[in-house]
Amino acid sequence: MAGRNSIFIVVGRLGKNLIVSKTLPVIACGVFSHIYIFSEEAGIEIDGADYITLPKFVRLIWPGFLNRIVRIVYEPLQLLFYAWHFRPAIIHGYYSIPKGLNSLIASKLSSSQCVISIIGGKEEIETAFFIQRFSQPLIIWLLKRANHLTTKGRKDNEYLLQFGIKEEKITIFNGAIDTKRFCYRGENKNIDLLFVGNFDKFKGPQRALEIIQKVSEELPDIRAIFIGKGPLYQNILEKTVTLGLSANITFKGYVYDSENYFKRSHILIFPSSNEGLSTAMLEAMACRCVTITSDVGNQTEAAIHDYNSIVIPDFNDIQSFSEHAVSLLKNHDQLNHLALNAEKTILSKYTPEAQGQICQQFYSKLIRINS
């Protein structure tokens, strides 16, 4: 039995790279002897942590709506069973509903401390359910009862403070970048523009397409790659053909080696309308890939205009995105200057060791309270 020097990290269906990002600092902080990751399925193997996953029969239930109903019931019961058995010091849930709620319930019934991480900003709090006026009060109630909260940045903190949540209860904690995997080692930068994200209206693949169209007017041989899929995928494919950009853009769908694209890319286009602090952007920065990002969410916690990135105030300003892209691709000295500073930012703030120091402080405090 692991006992009070163990931690549960509850991530559910969080992406595999994101799970690594959230777990590496916990290992680096050196507070826990046992680290258990509660995930729908096993992700990337992490030395020093163990996965606890849903049984295969639950994951294979069909149709989808029935699978969702079974998961909603099974996940909190599974978490509670292990919490009673292991009695962890801390249960740390990512995303308020349902993982944060499940974590809170399990922590109360196992006398553990509960940490909830807000990773989607105020949009996570206001739109977790289709009825906004129901969503916000419920999640604020939930957050007030957790022992500690983490956010992606100052904007999220300011939002929470207005609801009476105490400032000392909130820590800005993003998670780490695996700098052994996401790093630049002299690879040939043969991709001009890269888009990475879900093909939906928030991430803005349609805006990225418009940006590339404008850039191609100045630089006809531009080479771009799109990574990801989603509801707008087929529509974007068709528009690419209509705009005559098929020779310029390659669609890769979902990939498991995103680092190989970041290392080979000059610029990451990030015209999102809704963001916390993008892990994909941080991974790109670690690979000396310069981001042109919209000023949304907490992007400017890491992206500093004209130092390590280009920050565009309006995510719909296609003209500014394209002008900056053309300017950087024509001026390699400026591009390299931003790229080196981007890498420097990651190595100083977002390594497992740097982020581990942050979580070590609030974890240790909670353990002392619980002892």
Return the CATH number at 345.
Answer: 3.40.50.2000
Looking at the domain assignment, is residue 310 inside a domain? yes
Q: Which two tokens stand for residue 305?
A: 């205009």
Query: Are 262 and 345 contained in the same domain?
Result: yes
What pLDDT shows up at residue 131? 56
Q: Which domain holds residue 84?
A: 3-176+351-370
Q: Is 8:90 a contact under the CB 8 Å cutoff?
A: yes
SS3 (DSSP) at 230:
coil
Looking at the domain assignment, is residue 28 inside a domain? yes
Looking at the domain assignment, is residue 264 inside a domain? yes
Query: Are 108 and 253 contained in the same domain?
Result: no
What pLDDT shows up at residue 32? 97
Looking at the domain assignment, is residue 184 inside a domain? no
Total number of domains in the chain: 2
Query: Are 150 and 203 contained in the same domain?
Result: no
What pLDDT shows up at residue 55? 95
Looking at the domain assignment, is residue 182 inside a domain? no
The full DSSP string for 117-146 is E--SHHHHHHSSSS-HHHHHHHHHHHHHHS
Looking at the domain assignment, is residue 183 inside a domain? no
Looking at the domain assignment, is residue 185 inside a domain? no
SS3 (DSSP) at 311:
strand
Q: Name the burial class of residue 317, with classes exposed (0-12), middle (13-18) and buried (19+) by CB atoms within 10 angstroms of its CB.
A: middle
The CB density around residue 315, as the number of other CB atoms within 10 Å, is 20
Query: Are 224 and 326 contained in the same domain?
Result: yes
What pLDDT shows up at residue 92? 98
The per-residue pLDDT string of the chain (371 residues; one tens digit each, 9 = 90 and over) reads 456 799 999 999 999 999 999 999 999 999 999 999 999 999 999 999 999 999 999 999 999 999 999 999 999 999 999 999 999 999 999 999 999 999 999 999 999 999 999 998 888 888 765 556 678 889 999 999 999 999 999 999 999 999 999 999 999 999 999 999 999 999 999 999 999 999 999 999 999 999 999 999 999 999 999 999 999 999 999 999 999 999 999 999 999 999 999 999 999 999 999 888 999 999 999 999 999 999 999 999 999 999 999 999 999 999 999 999 999 999 999 999 999 999 999 999 999 999 999 999 999 999 987 76
Only one residue has tokens 């007030």, namely: 144
What pLDDT shows up at residue 123? 87
Report the C-alpha gap between 159 and 156 in whole angstroms. 5
pTM > 0.85: yes or no: yes
Query: Are 79 and 124 contained in the same domain?
Result: yes
Query: Are 98 and 242 contained in the same domain?
Result: no
Query: Are 144 and 206 contained in the same domain?
Result: no
Query: Are 326 and 209 contained in the same domain?
Result: yes
Query: In sequence order, what are the beta bridge partners of 172?
Result: 151
What pLDDT shows up at residue 128? 62
Looking at the domain assignment, is residue 284 inside a domain? yes
Query: Are 224 and 120 contained in the same domain?
Result: no
Query: Are 280 and 251 contained in the same domain?
Result: yes
User: Residue 205 belongs to what H/E stretch?
Assistant: helix 205-218
Q: Tell me, what DSSP letter sits at residue 9?
A: E
Query: Are 35 and 59 contained in the same domain?
Result: yes
Query: In sequence order, what are the beta bridge partners of 291?
Result: 268, 309
What pLDDT shows up at residue 60? 93
What pLDDT shows up at residue 2? 59
- Torsion over CA: 25, 29, 30, 31 (sign): negative
Query: Are 22 and 50 contained in the same domain?
Result: yes
SS3 (DSSP) at 309:
strand
